[in-house]
Structure 1
Amino acid sequence: MAITAAQIDLWRQEPTEHQALEFKEAKASFNFEKLKEYCVAIANEGGGHLVLGVSDAKPRAVVGSQAFPNIVDTADRLFLAVGFRVEVEAVDHDDGRVVVFTIPPRLRGTAHHVDGKYLMRSGESLRPMSEDRLRAIFAEGQPDWVEQPSLSGLDAAQIVELLDTQTFFELLKLPYPTSQEGVLEKLVQERLIDREPAGFSIRRLGGLLLAKRLDQFPDLARKAPRVLVYDGPSKLNTRIDQIWQRGYAVGFQGLVDFVMAQLPQNEVIEHALREKVKLLPEHAVRELIANALVHQDLSISGMSPMIEVYSNRLEISNPGEPVVPVERFIDGYQSRNERLADLMRRMSICEERSSGIDRVVDLAERYQLPAPDFRAAHRRTVATIYGQKPFDEMDREGRIRACYQHCVLKYVLSERMTNQTLRERFGLGEAKLATVSQIIAATIEAGFIKLDATGGESRRYARYLPFWA
């Protein structure tokens, strides 16, 4: 079906570019090597359209493009270069020629590459796919790891002995069945156990969520969260090293309570009274632990979620590099383990629709804590949340991170960041207006935020957007 000028205008009205739609001005030309890379990246992320001759900045004016005058030859060259057919069309728009590349999605279980580079998009740029992402793609179509049996040949009594069925029903807010058969039927219905000719089997998902002890499941024992508590701000002296053996769902609140008990206490003065408060708010700790459990890469062996408690911060990490770029943690969401996430949501353990990171950032702002730090490490995703630190002691990187996160949080709330809102986030008064302006300028220079062109001329009342908005 031919692309029309009307379709171009509909695409121009999209709120933002996304995985299936990319605009480039390309008035005179467009590099063929870059074209190959964009086709591969868009195909790897489900297919879509690359549109040349339209500005990628709002209001997305049609500027016209003279790139690739021979579209038939271009389509043939692309096919030889990338190995799949890309439809190329030249559309006569009232404001100029627009070239549209319609890129098909990759086949299930395969990924495309250019000269050995498996590419994906990250904001307005391209980046190599991580090992974890490639492994997940190549495993598509194979049986899901969590749906495979962990223990088989069990009788009804062994099922109830191994799994905490009482807490399972409490978490679902359901009355406990009056018969053992009723308990087993619910577990079968939820696909946590299976009936077999010789009795029952427990799926790995059932064990992960409901195990009374994960070490009774040989293939799940290394998935148990590990809690490390240090004396001081470094790893030099370890005070506690404990493996949390209960299943993720039935042991979650106990795990959160244990971690909270290990956090240092700070003394604050409020209403002329001295009070002792924990280093971090419980809601933030809860969200980050749930996030690490739900979004870990369960296919990686020999690694487990880790919770490390220091005197001035909490670090929570999980196996697997993130499937969403860390700079999009606040507004983006993609679950690595959909069934695990769904059950944890139904048990009110994690967020209903997002990763909970937006709540963590919001809590850090409300308590005027330093900005949380989210990092992709080697085969791990690390989230760090810090205890109280005066503004004057925050380093440049921490201030820029706080500015970007505040800008994103305002954006997802359909609001805009200004100098005033950022001063309020840091707990600063009018006298610090110039200081906060310097932070905003540094964040713009770092490429994390940009000026909202609709905000008017005044720098004092300027509004700002995330770089990808």
Structure 2
Amino acid sequence: MLNRLKILLSHDGENEVVEFKEAKRSYAFDKIGKYFSALCNEANLKHLKRAWLVFGVKDNQTVVGSQFRTSVKDLQSLKKEIADKTTNRLTFVDIHEVDHPNGRVLLFEVPAAPQGLPIAWDGHYYGRDGESLGPLNLEEIERIRAQNRASDWSAMTLPSASIDDLDSQAIALARQNFTQKNPRLTDEAKHWDTATFLNKSKLTINGQITRTAILLLGKAEASHFLNPASTTITWILKDRDGIERDYQHFGCPLLLSVDEVFHKIRNLKYRYMREGTLFPEEVDQYDPYIIREALNNAIAHQDYEMGGKVTLIEFEDGRLCFSNLGQFIPGSVESVIQSDAPESRYRNRFLTDAMVNLNMIDTIGSGIRKMFVIQKNRFFPLPEYQLKNNRVEVTITGRVVDMAYARKLAEYPDLTLEDIMLLDRVQKRKPLTDDQAKHLKSLRLIEGRKPNFHISAQLADHSGERAQYIRNKAFDDQHHKQLILEYLDKFGTAKRVDINTLLLDKLPGVLSPSQKEHKIKNLLQALKHEGLIQTKGKLWQMSKDV
């Protein structure tokens, strides 16, 4: 971020989206909040993604350094403190510490106010006139609010469509879901005719059929009303090598199709290896809530004008990958997790409202966070989002990938979700920033040197895991040998790197990376001495006598 600081210092003074403060040791919390509101709103009005509040720099852009909140934990806690008093709990994207020759500088990365939603601090809207902080004027407030009044693809009415184009079974299920979502209306809803129900549940507008109504309740033959948009959900089953084994397409009405897709998934039982009382014995690979939340989110947020379809790929190695077209409007998953609040803007507002009324999704802002919490409570890897090429992909893993990670979660159930997200990056071999690594090391959660961090073995030492490992050693050795034999029987030959890939994440977390390498070497040599496998150059293969 040193280059970013240099860029900000090169500007001709402060402006509406850049503010410098000395803040040598402290700075009024309320003032930070006011600047946060002002910078958010000004970035939105200037069509920028972010603005900057800089501590440790004078107004004349001289770097003097700042000792504001020198503890990493205290500094990061500022995010929640700000969120507690802002509209929709919006907070800093990140807080960057920069080591400048003249001292420590803090770069507070401020997100632009979401489209259609001006950001208030403690109930008041702030803005800037050049360098000056003050109330955001009414005209600017309305300019931001008007952004959310753009056309909504899902709300467009279809004059040539009628109730006859809707599926009666889907309408019946919609009624049932509506009363579950709105129990206070149960008695009243019994007397509504179909047209009244469709209006009340926000599927139609003044009796006119909308694109949303066709998408969720339309007969299969009515999908032509939405051309060129696709109404398809495609389920694909792939084996461990990524080769397609089966597939099926599902179309209108999507309210019924989501249940068909749900039951298509082979939700097998996952059995944990028992270790005292740390782990449950058996669970479904995928929590039903996660499947429905991920699938319905893909439907709700798909960019239908791009003409693509929603896809669910089921991998036999215990993964589900959901994908839909369109940018991830909140910007980052981290911001959603941290704010834990409703989104201010939706691509398909009318569709989203209808799906809420039909109990398909929830807009209270906790859906994604709940998915993370469920995976955390099962000791499984957290949902993994890929946001690129105008596509949103989320992968759910239905098994333990790194036992050391699972043991940490079991031993320390009070870890914050933010800390667990960082720990999850370690088990997935993803990079950490220096601050993130420093924070996890301070909690004694990780060991090693950048970039080769690994989850700390401290837990193993005080939980009796090493003794448990010794007791299970004979069983584990036989299991791992069998995996090697099955691999060679299927593929014929394997390099050492292939065997490593097969076994490294399955070996006990008490072993260091070098100990795991040595363990695999011993397993291979044992199989060789038993006459079951042999070498051919640098390749391993089954013995000819087997």
The equivalent position to 1:165 in structure 2, one of 171, 188, 196, is: 171
Q: Residues 177, 101 of structure 1: CA spacing in aligned structure 2 closer, same or farther, 3 A cutoff?
A: closer
Task: Indicate if the aligned counterparts of 2:382 and 2:421 stay in contact, CA closer than 8 A.
Answer: no
Q: Quick check: 1:245 aligned with 2:252?
A: yes
Q: Counterparts of 1:461 and 1:213 in 2: how far apart (Å)? A: 56
Q: Quick check: 1:284 aligned with 2:272?
A: no
Which residues of 2 match residues 253-402 of structure 1 at below 5 A?
Answer: 253-259=259-265, 262-268=266-272, 277-300=283-306, 302-312=307-317, 313-323=319-329, 324-332=331-339, 334=343, 335-336=345-346, 337-391=348-402
1:305 Cα deviation (Å)?
1.6
TM-score (norm 2): 0.49
Q: Which residue of 1 aligns with 2:211?
A: 204
1:49 Cα deviation (Å)?
9.1
Which residues of 2 match residues 110-149 of structure 1 at below 5 A?
Answer: 141-149=149-157
Q: Percent identity?
A: 16
CA deviation profile, 1:176-200 (whole Å, cap 9, x unmatched): 9677x722122234443356xxxx6
Q: Which residue of 2 aligns with 1:43?
A: 46
Task: Indicate if the aligned counterparts of 2:158 and 2:211 stay in contact, CA closer than 8 A.
Answer: yes
Amino acid at match of 2:373: D
Amino acid at match of 1:14: G
The equivalent position to 1:88 in structure 2, one of 113, 130, 135, is: 130
Which residues of 2 match residues 397-408 of structure 1 at below 5 A?
Answer: none
Q: Counterparts of 1:143 and 1:422 in 2: how far apart (Å)? A: 36
Higher gyration radius (CA): 2
1:170 Cα deviation (Å)?
0.6
Amino acid at match of 2:33: E
Indicate the SS of the match to 2:351. helix
Task: Indicate if the aligned counterparts of 2:154 and 2:211 stay in contact, CA closer than 8 A.
Answer: yes
Task: Indicate if the aligned counterparts of 1:317 and 1:381 stay in contact, CA closer than 8 A.
Answer: yes
Task: Indicate if the aligned counterparts of 1:166 and 1:176 stay in contact, CA closer than 8 A.
Answer: no
Q: Residues 384, 447 of structure 1: CA spacing in aligned structure 2 closer, same or farther, 3 A cutoff?
A: farther
Q: Counterparts of 1:251 and 1:409 in 2: how far apart (Å)? A: 38
CA deviation profile, 1:2-41 (whole Å, cap 9, x unmatched): xxx9xx94643639x856447xxxxxxxxxxxxxxx9656
The equivalent position to 2:233 in structure 1, one of 225, 231, 241, is: 225
Q: Quick check: 1:184 aligned with 2:192?
A: no
Indicate the SS of the match to 1:150. coil
Stretches of structure 2 that go unaligned for 5 or more consecutive residues are: 1-20, 22-26, 59-64, 76-126, 180-185, 446-546
Q: Counterparts of 1:56 and 1:168 in 2: how far apart (Å)? A: 58
Q: Quick check: 1:150 aligned with 2:150?
A: no
Indicate the SS of the match to 1:286. helix
1:101 Cα deviation (Å)?
12
The CA RMSD measured in Å over matched residues stands at: 5.3
Which residues of 2 match residues 4-43 of structure 1 at below 5 A?
Answer: 9=28, 11-12=30-31, 14=33, 18=36, 20-21=38-39, 43=46
Q: Counterparts of 1:444 and 1:385 in 2: how far apart (Å)? A: 22
Q: Which residue of 1 aligns with 2:544?
A: none
Indicate the SS of the match to 2:394. strand
Task: Indicate if the aligned counterparts of 1:163 and 1:212 stay in contact, CA closer than 8 A.
Answer: no
Q: Residues 392, 341 of structure 1: CA spacing in aligned structure 2 closer, same or farther, 3 A cutoff?
A: same
CA deviation profile, 1:230-265 (whole Å, cap 9, x unmatched): 2x13432231232243224x4434432333xx3454
CA deviation profile, 1:130-177 (whole Å, cap 9, x unmatched): xxxxxx97xx654321111236253x5x15557732112111114696
Task: Indicate if the aligned counterparts of 1:20 and 1:42 stay in contact, CA closer than 8 A.
Answer: no
Q: Residues 451, 267 of structure 1: CA spacing in aligned structure 2 closer, same or farther, 3 A cutoff?
A: closer
Q: Counterparts of 1:226 and 1:57 in 2: how far apart (Å)? A: 54
1:354 Cα deviation (Å)?
1.1
Q: Which residue of 2 aligns with 1:126?
A: none
TM-score (norm 1): 0.56
Q: Counterparts of 1:212 and 1:409 in 2: how far apart (Å)? A: 48
Indicate the SS of the match to 1:205. helix
Amino acid at match of 2:220: R
Q: Which has the higher helix share?
A: 2
Indicate the SS of the match to 1:315. strand
Q: Which residue of 2 aligns with 1:445?
A: 433
Q: What count of residue pairs does the alignment treat as equivalent?
A: 341
Q: Counterparts of 1:375 and 1:258 in 2: how far apart (Å)? A: 24
CA deviation profile, 1:97-136 (whole Å, cap 9, x unmatched): xxx89899599699xxxxxxxxxxxxxxxxxxxxxxxxx9
Amino acid at match of 1:287: E
Q: Counterparts of 1:450 and 1:372 in 2: how far apart (Å)? A: 24
